[in-house]
Amino acid sequence: MPSPARYRRIEALVFDFDGLILDTETPVFEAWRVVYAESGHELSLDRWQHSIGTDGSGFDPLTELRRLVGRPLDRAALTRRRREIRDRDLALRSALPGVESALSQARAIGLKVAIASSSPADWVVPHLERLGLAARFDAIATRDHVADAKPAPDLYLLATAQLGVDPAQAIAFEDSPNGVASAKAAGLYCVAVPGPMTAALCFDHADAKIHSLSARTIAAWIREAERPDRRLSVSIRPRPGNG
C-alpha cells in the first residue's frame, strides 16, 4: 500500500526564486562571461550551470579566473564591473511567465505560498519588492536561515515548517536539478520548470517537467500531486506558440 502521506491534501506551494520567479541566472552568468572575456578568457555555460540552484560555494568564478590569468586580480574592481553589468540587465526584467497567475490561483484556492531560495535574503527580498510580489508570500526561507543550501533538504523543510504544513502537503516548483534534489529529499512533490540556463540539464528526479509555469493550472497540479500513484512522472511538452 502507498504511504498515507500520499493521500494528504495539498495545502501549499513552495517556489524557488532565481530562475523560477525571476531570471536572475542569465544576467549573472552573462556578467561573469563579460568579465572573463575582458580578461582574455571564456566562461562556458557547462562550467557554470552545475552550480545553479546552490549557494555557489562549489565554484568561485574569481578564483577560477585568477588561475586562468596566472596573476593577482583587482577583485574589488572586477566585482564592481560585474555588478554593474548584471544590475543593468536585471533592472529591465519582470517576473517570469506564469508567476503572477500561479500566485493568484493559489490565493483563490486558499493555498499557502512560500519561497525556498539558496540565495540570501538581501538578494531575494529586494527583487520581490521591486516586482511587487513580496507581500504575496506567506514565508520566505533563504540561505541565511539554514545550515546547508540546496541540494540539501533544509530550505524546503524550513519553508514548509514556516507555513505549518507537512512537506507531503506541498508542491515545489524548481528550475535546477539541485533544487529538485532538495525538494524531493524534503518529501515534496516537485515540478521542474527549466529556464534557458538549465534547459540542457537532467531532471529525471522531478515528478513532472514543464517549459513554463503558465503551461498548466495550479488546480491541475493539485489533482496530479494528490493521486495515489503520484510516483509516476509526467512531462508536459511546449505547445506551438505558447512561449
Place of cell 528550475: 175
Residue 4 pLDDT greater than 80, yes or no: no
In 3-state terms, what secondary structure has residue 243?
coil
Nearest to 167 by CA among 29, 14, 40: 14
User: Has 18 been annotated as catalytic?
Assistant: yes
* The pLDDT value given to residue 78: 86
What does the alpha-carbon distance between residue 94 and residue 241 come to, in Å, rounded to a whole number?
20
Catalytic residue among 18, 138, 175, 207: 18
Of the listed ranges 56-65, 78-87, 137-146, 197-206, the least confidently predicted one is 56-65
Neighbours of 35 (CB within 10 A): 22
Stronger pLDDT, 232 or 84, i.e. the higher one? 84
For residue 238, the one-letter residue type is P
Helix (H) or strand (E) holding 216: none
Identify the pLDDT of residue 242: 29
Q: Is the pLDDT of residue 18 over 60?
A: yes
CATH architecture of 4-23+96-235: 3-Layer(aba) Sandwich (3.40)
Question: In DSSP terms, which residues pair with 113 in a beta bridge?
Answer: 13
Q: Of 16, 23, 138, 175, which residue is the catalytic one?
A: 16
Q: Which of 148, 99, 137, 141 is closest to 120 using CA atoms?
A: 141
Neighbours of 96 (CB within 10 A): 18
Active site residue 16: yes
Place of cell 512531462: 235
In the chain, the amino acid numbered 158 is L
pLDDT at 72: 84
pLDDT of residue 124: 97
